[in-house]
Structure 1
Amino acid sequence: MKNKSPSFTRRHLLEIGTGATLVAAAGVIWRANERGVIGEKGQEPYKPWEIWNDPAHRGTPLALVAAGVLASNPHNTQPWLFRVSDTRIDILADTSRNLGTFDPYLREMHVGLGCAVENMVLAAAPNGYAVTVTPHAGSLLDIGGRDEPVLAATLHLARGDAPADPLYSAIPKRHTNRNPYDRARGFPDALLHDFAAIPHDENLKLYLFQSGAAYETLGAAIIAATDEIVADHAMIEDSHRWFRDGPQEMERERSGLELDTAGLSPALLAVAKMLPALPAEQSHGTWADQTRDTHVPSAALLGLIAARDRYDRPQTLAAGRLWQRVHLAAGAAGLAMHPLNQPVEMIDRERQLGTESKAEARFAAVTGDEAWQPTFVFRGGYAIRDAAVSARRGAEMVTETV
């Protein structure tokens, strides 16, 4: 008697196909959960936004630090350390967290430190302090031996009883928004007047453009500088090392950039999270596309902060303090802001390389005055989507008590 050969019916194929589909679906769900597409992200890296005025710290210097760590800063590097006593807080530049060829003179780092200083000053009165800020004098061009923290400023604390600045309550509302803006809605005149009225160092000047030749020239300079950065392998590698690939990496680092804050549409964001991280060249090429096609043309406002000397350390800190107040005022009014500082980053890079400063020349038609050196460029407007919250290291992680 012959052995009957096994035969596969349509039912068998359907059963096999169904099983494979279920396995594949389970894999997709697992991947989506691991990459933060579904479910909640780990909460620890984002808690500093919720406990920024924690009652446990109220009335202590640590309350000022808790506000300081929520400040605007380059690439979310959070380049700060704080040495705290009962009567003073030293703010130090953590030079181990610099951006290399993106910031060879630590200029952007010091702008970020100035932002932290402003948040801390705003937090002083609500916590019963009067504060005096002493910036560290000197030039960024003279800072050497960057393997150690560098003192940037000192906050001298005394007990006081002053009313809180209205911008204090805006601290947890301020987020960088890289989404498209609705340019057709314009920018409120009242807020522009508020920006112009912000007290600031006499060595600084604030420029604001909504249209016209200066607006177009500045927008073109931003796009050109972005293309030059993307063509510079060293710059994009130094930038790329601050990208965090997924929730687990962000949970470990609690700093840097992630897809959630990149300004992608919800559908594109979900797809991007499922895929492996792009190489530096491709991810920065996408950034250049966003800059050219979205960031610049959708901006209702383009602005810049200029200094008498962009490498003067006190002026650079003061520029950060001014930017922080501009960003807080916008956040309080429900508007979005986004640094677009690529033209000044290229000025630093060209100086480092000793090449012709094409980036500097592009600003001549914007400021109309060579006495003012741009140090920070940004855009503003009504965003089509709210910004995602960025990860932060908590106050305890960056504070040393002395």
Structure 2
Amino acid sequence: MPSTLTVPQSASPVVAAVICAAGLGARAGGVAPKQFAEIGGRTMLRRAAEIFLNHPAISRVAVTIGPDQRPRYDAALGNLVDHPKLAPPAEGGATRQISVRRGLELLAADIPDIVLVHDAARPFASAALVDRAIEAAIRAGAAVPGAPVTDTICAVDEKGARGETLDRTRLRALQTPQAFRYADLLAAHRRAAEAGRDDFTDDGALFAWAGGKVAMFEGEARNVKMTTPDQFEDEALRRAGLAFLARGDVRTGTGFDVHAFGEGDHVMLGGVPVPHSAGLSGHSDADVALHALTDAILGALADGDIGAHFPPSDSKWKGADSALFLADAASRVRAAGGEIAHLDLTVIGEAPKVGPHRDAIRARISQIVGVPIGRVGVKATTTERLGFTGRREGLAALASATIRLPFRDEV
């Protein structure tokens, strides 16, 4: 969801963000710290950084990293390393509190009015949440996001047994980004350091300890913290899920085509020459299978039919390889930002037999459209000697195509 924050330009505060990425991520397991782990092809750190670098109200972003993590930091951010909003990384300390203070000190030259403190382990926060954080800081001076607790929560006694059930209506799960007037939070951190305190894991708690009042604003369920091994072990599933969400408009199209037998010693089926006692007649190479598949894809795109794009009245398509038609339909899906999820083809006729050529046809279709062969189904059937195919006068083909497109507002 894009940002909807509207603050008059004359009253706009200078807002900066500190992203904590100095931890070792020990609870997450694995060799590399969790902030450098990939989710859907991008590292958690990059996802977290993009939240703030892409937000129009944020003018400066500082990231804290651990000792000797600079190469991983550069690799994780890629081309974002040179982003004009991004400050050089600050080396964190032994605790989160020390790391945050060093990030705040790094921003001193920018003199921000408001600072947001966020954990790199929360890569799914939305721009709307950042809006609410800034608005809460403007209104209250210090505020933290809290999400309603939906699980039943209980205390445990000294022996680890179940104890009192807590009233979850009064409970909130605290999140980041937490928002503060920059000067006040920096002063609170300096005061804690002078007092020898370095054990605060939450900036709101530190600020309250220093005597400040902390308000609360609405968090969001999507803003989960990636912490434990089970959250990381299903990377392939997460990647597939994110890809599906990116192209969540699932569409299906169908295609049907017929060609009569004519002179020749083979037919073209699915881009494969299949020996037969006759050929198929048509303006192009009369590949009934590829024609049906082409129409199925165009139907899923709501983009006309094969005749509209390759009219038989145009002599340039006389005798043409029908692979050109199918490849063009597939390229239209990609141009729309989509992908082909599955193709299914049924060839209808008494002869020739499709079975011996099934795998070759699947492989050729897979090659033409650029999808794995496991996403191409090919079958054959007869009409029990009924109709023109039953009389061996020609072949027919029925096809379906499933594609995924990005969601767009349609007129």
Between 1 and 2, higher relative CO (CA 8 Å, sep ≥ 6) is seen in 1
Same fold (TM over 0.5): no
Q: TM-score, normalised by structure 1?
A: 0.24
